[in-house]
Chain A
Amino acid sequence: MEKGKIDPIALEILSHKIWQITDEMARVLERTSGSPVVYDVRDYMTAIYDTEGNAVMVGCGVVFHGAATVDAVKYIIETYKEDPGINDGDVFFANDPYISACHQPDVTIITPIFFGSEVVAWAASMCHIADTGGIDPGGFCTRACEVYQEGFRSPGIKIVENNKIKKDVWDTILNMVRDPGGVGLDLKAMIATGETAKSRIFEMIEQYGVDSFKLLCDEIINYSEKKLRGKISQLPDGTWRSMEFLDDGKKLLLSMTKKNDSLVFDFTGTDDQSINNRNSSLSATKGAVFGALAPLLCYDIPWSQGILNVMDTIVPEGTILNPKKPAALTEGPIGPAFLAHDAAVITISTMLNSSDEWKEEATASWNPSVSTQAFAALNQHNHFIVTIFMDIQGGGGGATPCSDGVDTGGMLWIPTTTMPNVETYELILPILYLFRRQTKDSGGPGKYRGGVGGEYAIVLHDSPSGEAVMPPYGCIGGEAAIGLGLSGGYPTLVKQYKLVTDSNISHLLKSWNIPEYVEDLNGDVSLLSQSDVWHLHNDQVFYQNWFGGGGYGDPLEREPKLVLKDVLNELVSEECAELIYGVIIDNKTKLINDEKTKSKRITIIKDRLNKQNKYTI
């Protein structure tokens, strides 16, 4: 690099160097934390910021937090620079959703990086800790009606000073949580990532100098903004809208307007805030939009402040996406914020689909939520453990204008996520999986099918207490279908939780019979409501399914041989093949009956045309 200048090749190489630093921070976090939420699910984020707290590089963790943690770093800089001061060897803890966090369990650890006596950068990592000491275990606080019931919440507190953990602060935080061992390990893992960032940035500064490093940070941000504006300006101007719903009927409306090289995401028309914890913090809402924009339009652009500069977000105060204090918000990120993300995916994709050049970048909704439940119990090792079931990470991908969605492909907003291993959960929890598999008919039908989601069933096994508490979370996708399709594609399925009581499962397992369906068991099968806190006892079976992806295009345009392949692979039922796709498969030969298929599809079209209903306003 020449002084005061960075040539394009150096910019490309060195921006990847900084990206590598965020990746190394992530590896440190995974290898140090003991939580499957971190090392399997990758529900974390790592990032580097400039001296003013602008994001220079957001890593491939939970993309939502790329936007939210900018607020955390800026708040620390503005609020605490004088008192208690910001010094070399300090580390800060922050988790207040009314300032920066998506919700209290998403804790950010923030490290100032000094070279000599000046701050040259900031590093931050975020991970979802197992508990915050709120009204319900697991951090999601189903019964909370105020933020004060949702556990420990700090706008920013110094947790390390002069390279030494502050014992009074440390003890206070861990004293308030149900799993101090697990939470303590997560905090130490995040502190370690800051040390990793420090040593790598020192190496860069020793090689290139402080001024060049700062110039590099500015140039990355400028480059991101310029590149994204360049892309956007190639797309047609217009307004695209999406409306989505919580299960209780509360509505979210997004109008995304693109004019020249600007994008405005306007949530005006969204319903008022909830009286329960089904509200998204403003940080989570902005993060949700960023979480759609980054993978869809910025897969070849550094994820930096430059992207946030292009993204203009209007979120009226007092709504489910920007509530007033003291509204509860722990379900925000996996409820209303997810709807905001899904709406942003749909509007951005509909815009991309309006361009012959860019249409193949469009996608229907990916697995649109992480609705699941915490699990708190004395485990088989007599240790009290709290964790979250994250099998739902293996959600279906949205279909595109040229391909089916990826079956159990993951989540759009955590590009690197994996499903936790069955063996991991069975090792740390007193449970046994009866099955875990892909779910037939869970991919939204279309010319291109949404990827399928999955399902599992568990029982307690070797449980010292014979009981587990399972607070559910996720206020979407249980009644209103989410995971919408595009251009005539259908949405994915609606999720279900079931409990079988008074079952004969112990008897079956003793005789080595594992049921294929929960309905094969003796006992009472009931659908569970997400408004309650669930309990699992011996001889009960718990079942959950999760979302696939939305479909693309009219299902009648799907090639019959692809429908047959789906049926033979048990991804689509013969019932759906006939009713939705209009494909008739011979029962005996399992081949397509071409004549009957042609006739069926003509009949469906005639039925459509016979409707003759037109909407008038």
Chain B
Amino acid sequence: MAQRISESLELVEQNGKSQIKCSKCKQVLCTAEENYKLSAVYAEFPLSKAGPKYFFRPSDKFILREYYCPSCGILFEVEMLPKGMQPVWNIEMVS
């Protein structure tokens, strides 16, 4: 039985292992002990991606990083952080 992790992620027991899957297409991403973002595909954008350009100062200090399912493309998470910073492991559930 799948345990919900977020809108598009779930935790599933399979063959004695806890795995994180995309809840939309059931693509296996990683084990419960790993950061799902490292198994997602990502893209980086300027902050103005979130809205019209005139709301944002021209700045390359911070970026939006989007993480998608590598199979169906659903957007798992949007991070706001400095360029080059590692992904935040934002969900670490105990299986």
Which A residues are closer than 8 A to B by beta carbons? 236-243, 245, 249, 259, 350, 353-356, 359, 401, 441-442, 444-445, 447, 478-482, 484-494, 496, 527, 545, 552-557, 573, 575-576, 580, 605-606, 608-609, 611-617
Contacts and interface: CB of A to CB of B under 8 A. Distances in A.
Contacts of A605: 72-73
B52 A611 contact: no
A478 B41 CA distance: 29
Interface string B32-64: 000001111111000101111001110101101
Given A238-B94, A239-B92, A350-B91, A249 B82 contact: yes
Contacts of B87: 615
Given A487-B7, A609-B73, A613-B41, A238 B93 contact: yes
A612 B71 CA distance: 10
Contacts of B81: 243, 245
Nearest to A609: B73
A481 B88 contact: no
Contact of B61 (A238, A249, A613): A249
Most buried by B among A350, A355, A491, A554: A554
Given A241-B92, A493-B56, A481 B50 contact: yes
Nearest to A445: B50
A354 B4 contact: yes
22 contacts: A238-B92, A240-B91, A240-B92, A241-B88, A243-B88, A353-B4, A441-B55, A447-B7, A479-B61, A479-B62, A485-B78, A487-B8, A488-B74, A489-B78, A494-B57, A557-B74, A573-B52, A608-B68, A612-B41, A614-B70, A615-B86, A616-B38
Interface of B: 3-8, 37-43, 47, 49-52, 55-57, 59, 61-62, 64, 66, 68, 70, 72-78, 80-82, 86-94
B75 A442 contact: no
B75 A556 contact: yes
A485 to B, nearest CB: 6
A444 B73 CA distance: 20
Nearest to A545: B55
Contacts of A359: 4
A479 B90 contact: no
B46 to A, nearest CB: 11
A212 B92 CA distance: 46
Given A236-B3, A353-B7, A612-B41, A554 B74 contact: yes
Nearest to A487: B7
A417 B34 CA distance: 42
Contact of B91 (A238, A245, A496, A545): A238
Most buried by A among B40, B41, B66: B41
A259 B92 CA distance: 12
Contacts of B64: 481, 490-491
Nearest to A347: B90
Contacts of B90: 240-242, 350
Contacts of B89: 241
A494 B49 CA distance: 12
Given A236-B3, A241-B89, A493-B51, 10 more contacts: A350-B90, A441-B55, A442-B51, A481-B50, A493-B55, A573-B52, A576-B52, A608-B66, A608-B68, A611-B42
Nearest to A357: B4
A346 to B, nearest CB: 8
A354 B40 contact: no
Contacts of A481: 47, 50, 62, 64, 80
B62 A245 contact: yes
Contact of A478 (B38, B39, B57, B88): B57
Given A355-B4, A611-B42, A615-B42, A487 B37 contact: no
Contacts of A493: 50-51, 55-56
B88 A608 contact: no
Most buried by B among A401, A556, A580, A614: A614
Nearest to B81: A243
Contacts of B88: 241-243
B41 A611 contact: yes
Contacts of B70: 609, 612, 614
B92 A487 contact: no
A173 B10 CA distance: 58
Contacts of A494: 47, 55-57
Contacts of A492: 50
Most buried by A among B76, B82, B90: B90
Contacts of B8: 487-488, 553-554
A98 B13 CA distance: 49
A262 to B, nearest CB: 13
A609 B7 contact: no
A353 to B, nearest CB: 6
Given A442-B55, A488-B76, A494-B57, A614 B42 contact: yes
B4 A356 contact: yes
Nearest to A356: B4
A206 to B, nearest CB: 52
Nearest to A575: B52
A553 B51 contact: no
Nearest to B5: A354
User: Which 6 pairs across A and B sit closest by C-beta, in order of nearness?
Assistant: A487-B7, A488-B75, A554-B75, A238-B93, A605-B73, A237-B94
